[in-house]
Amino acid sequence: MSKLVIEGVSRTFAGVRGGQRVQALQPVDLAVAANDFITILGPSGCGKSTLLRIVAGLEAPSTGRVLLDGKAVTRPGPDRGMVFQSYTLFPWLTVAENIGFGLRERRVPERERNEIVASYVDLVGLKGFENHWPKQLSGGMQQRTAIARALANDPAILLLDEPFGALDNQTRGLMQELLLGIWERRKKTVLFVTHDIEEAIFMASRVIVMSARPGRIKSDVPVDLPHPRHYTLKTSPEFSRLKAQLTEDIRIEAMRTAQTQSA
Amino acid sequence: MLRPLHPVPPGTRTVLGIAFFALFVAFWAWITLGGHVNRIFLADPLSMLKDGWRLLVEDRFWLDILITIWRVFGGFVLASIVAVPIGIAMGAWKPVEAFLEPFVSFARYLPASAFIPLLILWAGIGELEKLLVIFVGSVFQIILIIAVKVGSTRRDLVEAAYTLGATDNGIVKRVIMPANAPEIAETLRLVLGWAWTYVIVAELIGSSSGIGYMIINSQSRLATGQIIFGIIVIGLIGLLSDFAFKALNRWLYPWSLA
């Protein structure tokens, strides 16, 4: 049985000041198997973030529905952990308190909470920074904390919305390996939105390519590269072949976006 | 040499700041001691200090100072206790805002000083009336500023908290309130400054104690030295309470400065 099922989900925004209604997302169908790492790849403005926000329950679909473990999604909840592109750590809480936020909200006893927090601090390599304020951390460390915060709730699925988009290239590469390493060891169902082709292939067991706005699923590409993956994989022939294929797919869509914008 | 937005070294900053005070006092001394203005209308700095000393030692002016401080803080604390929860509620829950915002916006423009005759009719000329003037002057301002600050709470933080399992009440208590706490404290610091204006107005009318009373009393005796001393005392207390408030905020909210 599929872990996550997206059935005919579309999203239309009301027109601004009586203008035309804008369709951001055409009806999308997608079934995600448990412990799959899915990356959703598309040009900017294709509605991929909207789709992720609908799965998170932060936005309601105009049509269709989302089922997680057979239950319909109606509002955000701790079973769907989310990492945002912008830095969303609570600035008034320390790193440890941020990671423990969801646990505290769910009234997990303090001792158990501290143990879980410590284990996730360890997992994302932030030992020694537990009592730092978010402002004192680099962008990469903030996103590591955000990943730990989402995972500490032990969600059924982890949603990531271009989590490394604001980071420099080197840091981004390290973060990809870190997240993939965690996934390889702990197995989790992951939905990861990105516009970076290399990132999409490197992380994924399956890449979903979306078309230009209004978005729909254009292709569904399995990535059968072996695990554990090392960054050197990015220069292998199989990787290059996939990259060439997806680059072509995305290029057409990006051009289509450029045309609709200039029209 | 003067480059726009270029920072000034801290030492130079202090020197420049003190230099203006010195210039100001020098100018004041020059026009008064030099006989360029009539002494009846403006006392010179030296007789101002002499008058001030006499006030403190002989007329027990420090009692007036304490009474004025008590009035400011009393009225201000009352206004804060009422206004902060209402402001948070308006910012957090849009129906509450729709219900109260038009009235509060209107009430904000009612001048506190114009209420003094009415407040005297209702509460007499005792302490309650003085507190009420400050209350009326501060409460609507605090409500509105806090409502706006709370209303602009970062949405991404609220969304993050929801995805971590926060309930609607949890959002208010564990995101909206802590996220805005430094801003709320900053708002209170600002409004406390305004409360000093209201208290003096309240003491100018129907009062028998306080700094404002001393000032209006000195007017009839043409004691401009005392008036200026009173004004400077208000300025100094305002400055001190401002420093104290800032220090308190820094101590309470280290995360917002880190």
Delineate the domains of chain A, giving CATH numbers in brackets.
1-74+186-263 (3.40.50.300)
Q: What are the structure tokens assigned to A216, written together? A: 């729909």
Q: Please check whether residue B67 lies inside any domain of the structure.
A: yes
CATH of the domain at B169: 1.10.3720.10
Q: What domain count does chain B have? A: 1
E strand or H helix that includes residue A248? helix A237-262
Contact B164 A90 (CB under 8 A): no
Q: Please check whether residue B116 lies inside any domain of the structure.
A: yes
Q: Please check whether residue B256 lies inside any domain of the structure.
A: no
Compute CA B95 distance to the chain's CA centroid, rounded to the nearest angstrom: 31
Q: Please check whether residue B38 lies inside any domain of the structure.
A: no
- Section A45-69 average pLDDT: 91
For the segment B66-122, what is each residue's pLDDT rounded down to a tens digit?
999 999 999 999 999 999 999 999 999 999 999 999 999 999 888 888 888 898 899
Counts of helices then strands in chain B (DSSP H, E): 11, 0
| Angle of helix B177-204 versus helix B61-92 axis, rounded to 10 | 140
Map residue A110 onto helix, strand or coil: helix
Q: Please check whether residue B64 lies inside any domain of the structure.
A: yes
For the segment A196-227, what is each residue's pLDDT rounded down to a tens digit?
999 999 999 999 999 887 888 888 989 888 88
Q: What are the structure tokens assigned to B126, written together? A: 């005792």
Of B157, B178, B181, the CB nearest to A88: B157
Q: Please check whether residue B9 lies inside any domain of the structure.
A: no
**CA B151, CA B133: separation in Å to the nearest integer?**
28
Residue A261 pLDDT class (50, 70, 90 cuts) = low
Chain A CA closest to residue B252: A92
Q: Please check whether residue B246 lies inside any domain of the structure.
A: yes
Q: Please check whether residue B69 lies inside any domain of the structure.
A: yes
- Residue ranges of E strands in chain B: none
Q: Best mutation site among A52, A74, A88, A97 for testing chain B: the one with the most B CBs within 10 Å?
A: A88
* Interface predicted TM-score (ipTM) of this complex, two decimals: 0.91
